[in-house]
């Protein structure tokens, strides 16, 4: 496997080398006619489920930022300003999550 084409392996699996037996932590597509590219050997471990939950949390944050907040087209220049806008958007998302999670918590008198 070429290192330039397997850059996601270094990002998805911390501390791993880019050898042929490494699998990226991507979602399993069971509806494909030829079967999924991710085999049962990868998905049966607990780390795969943990990785999928983490990816879902991160993707939800960015998806919310693209639909609700101004991330789809950033109107500022410079990395510092873009970084500030991203942090502000993530903080706003976390505040909305706290509000919805507080509604689930039982109220004690």
Q: What is the pLDDT of residues 52-104, one digit of tens each?
A: 788 888 888 888 888 876 677 778 889 999 889 888 888 988 898 888 888 87
Sign of CA dihedral 98, 99, 104, 109: positive
**Token digits for 29?**
């597509």
Domain that holds residue 54: 42-104
d(CA 65, CA 71): 6
Q: Does any domain span residue 5?
A: no
Per cent of the chain over pLDDT 90 is: 2
- In a domain, residue 99? The reply is yes
- The pTM assigned to this predicted structure is 0.52
Q: Is residue 9 part of a domain?
A: no
In a domain, 13, yes or no: no
Q: How many domains does the chain have?
A: 1
Q: Give the pLDDT score at 80.
A: 92
What residue has token string 């049962």?
Answer: 40
Residue 33: inside a domain: no
Q: Is 73 inside a domain boundary?
A: yes
In this structure, is residue 67 part of a structural domain?
yes
With respect to residue 1, please indicate whether it lies within any of the assigned structural domains. no
């Amino acid at each position: 496997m070429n290192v330039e084409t397997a850059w996601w392996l270094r990002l998805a699996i911390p501390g791993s080398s880019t050898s042929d037996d490494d699998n990226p932590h991507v979602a399993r597509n069971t509806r494909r006619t030829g079967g999924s590219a991710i085999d049962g050997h990868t998905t049966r471990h607990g780390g795969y489920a943990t990785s999928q939950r983490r990816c879902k949390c991160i993707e939800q944050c960015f998806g919310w930022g693209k639909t609700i907040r101004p991330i789809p087209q950033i109107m500022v220049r410079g990395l510092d300003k873009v970084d500030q806008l991203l942090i502000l958007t993530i903080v706003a998302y976390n505040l909305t999550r706290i509000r919805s999670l507080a509604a689930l918590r039982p109220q004690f008198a």
